[in-house]
Amino acid sequence: MKMRKLIPTILAMAMVISLFAAFPATAGASISTQPSSKSVTAGDFTTLTVEGSGLAAAIWYISKDNGATFNIIGAADSTYIDISSVSTATLKLYNVPMEYSGHQFRAMVIFTMGTSTFSNIATLTVKEPEKRSCPTGGSAEFDCTAEAERVVADNKAIKYTITGYQWQMLQGSGMSWSWNNIADGAYYAGTKTAKLTVKDAPKTLDGRMYRCLFSATIDVGYGAVATNGPSSRFMLNVTDAKALKITTDTKDATTVEGRDPNFSIKVDGEDLVYQWYVSTDGGSVWQKVDTNSFHYRSQNTNLANYLYIRNTPLSFNGYMYKCEVTSDGDTVTSKASKLTVTAADGPPVLNTGGSPAPASTTIPAGANASFWANFSINPICPVSYEWYVSTNNGVSWDKVTANSVYSDVDAAILKLENVPISYNGNMYRCIAANSKGELASPSAKLTVVESTGATMVTKQPVDCIAAVGGTATFTMETSGGPEVSWTWTVSPTDSEIVDVQFGIGDREGKSIIEHAMFDGKAIVTGTNGNTLTISNVPKELDGWLFFCRIFGFDASGEEAMFFSSAAKLTVIDDGEAPTITGPASLTLKEGYGDTYSDAFTLKGAPEPKMTIVSGDPKITFYEDAMKLRIAEGLEPGTYVVKLEASNGLAPDAEHTFTLTVTTDSSGSMSNFSKARAYVRGQFPDVDETQWYGYDDQKTIALAYEYDLMKGNADGTFNPGGNVTVGQALAVACRVHVIYSGGTTLVEGSTWYQVYVDYAIENGMIKATDFSDYGRPATRAEMVYIFASAVPAEELPAVNTVNSLPDVDNGTPYSKQIFMMYEAGGLTGNDDAGTFTPNANISRAQAAAIIARVILPAERRSGKTYG
């Protein structure tokens, strides 16, 4: 029936219904099955059904206001509802949109007896599909591995096994939609695997829905039965491609022989790939920077936005550097920048990069302070430090001598403890000297204030950037006085000042003028606190100034009113809150020299700025290289540094970096001890009579007892399951940390990243070894990773290896494989020692290697291979 004919029919039936609506259903006519609420994913198909005895017809109603009103479904909803089903027992909905979430449905049921009644109300909940985004011409990946593994894990009792994959795309229009298989080709790869890659994505694929159809076998004890079922659905979001833009280009650099200069570039774009080039002939010929060279130490030299040069030789004088940045086929290249290197046997040089040092500071009386002399490190002519103080605003200077307040007076960082008020106004500077000369640092002023009495602003509000519809926050802090209250004010223009409020009076009870901007547009909270928050920021607030009117006390204890400084709000059309990625930990040996961490990467729009929130003063942030500088002299122990990045858009990004300083004697096999007990039969899927079981080699039990491997969430161990590269690294790093006496590593949002960083920093692997940490590890890769978990001297040879059937010098990681056979950590698959290096390693096999690495008594000795 065509819609133009159907709608009058529905309306006519509605008029008939109204004649019978007052009559209740009779005993022989009733609803037996009520429509039930449904939860679907956007784009799904679904139905609502009502059943009953004596049912003659049903008319479906919809409520879009949480049940306040119900109306017969009509032409306005024909885009997503099959109108031909509105007057049937089953209502059909197709390609359901997100805006239908929360809509309610019920049916007017008409019985053959002429009576009618309403069904129960059914609520439709619509969930967003999981999305993947890429720019036009870019690529995106859909991965259903975790879902497939979960299906198998949830059905262990019936031996549910995935046997195949087929990716599908939803196609159609109107009421004719279907899932159609897709094949590898122009836009797709991996269509028959757990991971689908969409490549060279055209704009026409924007909004397309995908799912994976699993093929599987189920064995419930009567033989295997084939079956299949779909995964969750995914949506592809193809955005307009953005051209790359260099926001900060490279600059020429001047350094001294033996020091560590750097070049950096900042580019506006996404998924950036960096490649640095060097020219040794003034720019005629360019070569890729050799990341294996000693002088280009950074683990990510060619992948990061900086190039860090280590212990620069004089021969590098005149070298040129540039960086090529690519993203999805777009490329930009920095200008060529020159490196000037001067001889190292010269006077001290002040490092002008990063934050000014020393920096002026204000503290309350009785607090501690420190000043840092930021001189470049000179390995050939080391400098000595002398700190000087001026009590007459820089007219004359006296050498600082150690006392109850001053310490480290001849070090790079001068420390002051329990500073008295009499030190207020003192100025400090440092003179660095060597055999070639001396140099004075800039001076810094110390302001010491009374900790009680007069009210003072200790933290002024700062300018803020917010996106339209986003959140802006202004914060200020005060100290002193028994009571302080705040009232935030705003100045839209130079002449207009109004109090930001939401119906709250000030301390004196006077009415505060309400500005129209905060009536139905921006939402304001904290107007009478020290933090003002503005939500749903409108574009009209761009350029407004916010400051706080403070009611406090003057030095004599009398009430006084004063204002904080003004902070400007900038409202942008679009933005991105900041993120921080980078190293999570670093381990150094006692007696180390000045050291830099690996670089951090900041993302956000506008460009964020990173600062150290808390940590030891010997650990400072070197902004030019985006690294932490660890000054020499930290005692053995653990030092936690809290980093924060802000660009005015909430929320600020936070990152924790843990430095561990160990003693030379901390590494020992005696550091390994049992952390928990293993009970025979603890894991239901572990056959304790097998070679890895409790009755034989106990490898799983030992790995569990020493807290190096755990079971699964469902209480199983899965001895035959694969070990991923990330999991292998995690266990190897735990072994390395325990052996060296370090601190337990803390996992972040990408759980394996802390182990990757630790393994690279401690020379266990190279940054270029692996690109996919989620794939299964091979047996050869597992041995490579574990060969450096403890020092080589802890793995002495106890066997003779002349040859192995399937391993020779050309086999990847053959050196580590032969070493592990000689040490008794490996025995092979047969008496000849067959290794099968390219096979995936199982969890049981990994447990055996782990046990033999940490426990010499478990190693197999006295054997000869080949």
Residue 250 CA to chain centroid, in angstroms? Answer: 27
Peptide bond into 651 cis (omega under 30): yes
Task: State how far the alpha carbon of 800 is from the alpha carbons of 731, 834, 854, 862, in Å.
Answer: 28, 15, 21, 8
* Contact indicator for 549, 491 with CB cutoff of 8 Å: no
205 vs 187: CA distance, rounded Å: 10
Residue ranges in the chain modelled with pLDDT below 50? 1-27, 298-302, 353-355, 482, 494-516, 519
458 vs 481: CA distance, rounded Å: 13
Residue 643: left (phi > 0), alpha (psi -120 to 50), or beta? beta
Closest-CA residue to 686 (of 671, 674, 703): 703
pLDDT value of position 411: 85
CB atoms within 10 A of CB 753: 17
Look at residue 421 and give its three-state secondary structure: helix
Residues written for the chain: 866
Question: With 0-12 CB in 10 A as exposed, 13-18 as middle and 19+ as buried, what is 603?
Answer: middle
791 vs 739: CA distance, rounded Å: 9
For the residues of 100-155, what is the DSSP string, one character each?
GTT-EEEEEEEETTS-EEE---EEEEEEPPEEEEEETT--EEEE-HHHHHHHHHHT
Q: What is the pLDDT of residues 821-831, one digit of tens each?
A: 999 988 888 88
Task: State how far the alpha carbon of 632 is from the alpha carbons of 135, 429, 593, 617, in Å.
Answer: 46, 20, 5, 11
Query: Is the sign of the CA dihedral 707, 711, 715, 719 positive or negative?
Result: negative
Query: Is the sign of the CA dihedral 51, 52, 56, 57 positive or negative?
Result: negative
Annotate 781-835 with three-state secondary structure.
HHHHHHCCCCCHHHCCCCCEECCECCECCCCCCHHHHHHHHHHCCCCCCCCCCCC
Show contacts of 792-798: CB within 8 Å, 24+ apart.
Answer: 792/819, 794/669, 794/739, 795/819, 795/820, 795/823, 795/825, 795/853, 796/823, 797/822, 797/823, 798/822, 798/823, 798/824, 798/859, 798/860, 798/861, 798/862
Which amino acid is present at 530?
N
Q: Encoding tokens for residue 244?
A: 């790359």
- Residue 233 CB-half CA count within 13 A: 20
Look at residue 414 and give its three-state secondary structure: strand
Closest-CA residue to 622 (of 840, 306, 319): 306
* Contact indicator for 194, 250 with CB cutoff of 8 Å: no
pLDDT value of position 768: 85
Q: Encoding tokens for residue 835?
A: 């290794």
pLDDT value of position 400: 94
Q: What is the value of pTM for the model shown? A: 0.32
Q: What is the pLDDT of residues 275-328, one digit of tens each?
A: 889 999 888 888 888 877 778 754 444 457 778 787 788 889 999 999 888 876
Q: Residue 607 contacts by C-beta under 8 Å, 6 or more apart in sequence? A: 247, 266, 647
468 vs 547: CA distance, rounded Å: 21
Backbone angles phi, psi at 312, to 5 degrees: -60, 125
Look at residue 204 and give its three-state secondary structure: helix
pLDDT value of position 574: 76
Which amino acid is present at 61?
Y
